[in-house]
A and B are shown apart, each in its own frame.
Chain A
Amino acid sequence: MARTFIGDGLVVEGDIEGSDELVVQGQVRGGSISGKEIAIEKSGDVEAQVQGETLRLAGKLVGDVQAQARVEIGAEGRLHGDVKAPRIAIADGAHFKGHIDTE
């Protein structure tokens, strides 16, 4: 299984597509992110549309999320955008502003 890792300090301006496992600790600006298992970690800072099977958010995301399986926003996660996913978990302490649709 291929892994894509956007490390802390790396800035991507544009689109990231098609990764089985995508871990973001750096910054992503504009465009869109698509993959299977997506994790935006604590230092991660993303402004993009996100499409995947699962999203684990522990960092900051501005943009809409569409997940086929589940979305998990950790206690330190911050999301500003709409979520469409069959399952969603939001931890106590998380920031979330947007619309949720689990249908």
Chain B
Amino acid sequence: MAEPSTIGADCTVRGTLRGSAALDVEGTVVGRIEGPEGLTVAAGARVDAEVQAGHAHLAGELSGQVQAQRVEVKAGAKVQGQVETDTLSIEEGATVRFETRMKLDLPPDAEG
């Protein structure tokens, strides 16, 4: 498996990052992130992007649209925008303002 990539704390990427290996953002990304199995937005990092990932672990600031199987919002994180996911967790102390879209497996009579 490919080595994880890191955007360092002093680094800014403007554009699209595409790839399936893990991606750790400690700095700034503006644009799009496509495909990482695991995306970590570290505390102190800023992401302003459309994100599509397997698992998003958010401890820093993120604004935009997130599409991931699993989204974890950690204490201290700031997340706003739209989150589309199967599994969502939010720790106490996170600042969030986002719309969620989750798949619901409800019994037929409970739908509507």
Contact = CB atoms under 8 A, between A and B. Distances in A.
Interface of A: 2-22, 25-26, 30-31, 35
Interface residues of B, number: 24
A3 B10 CA distance: 8
Contact of A12 (B9, B15, B20, B21): B15
Nearest to A32: B14
Interface of B: 2-21, 23, 26-27, 31
A8 B11 contact: no
A4 B11 contact: yes
Contacts of B2: 7-10
A14 B5 contact: no
8 contacts: A2-B26, A5-B8, A9-B19, A11-B18, A14-B13, A14-B15, A15-B14, A18-B10
Contacts of A6: 5
Contacts of A35: 11
Contacts of A30: 15
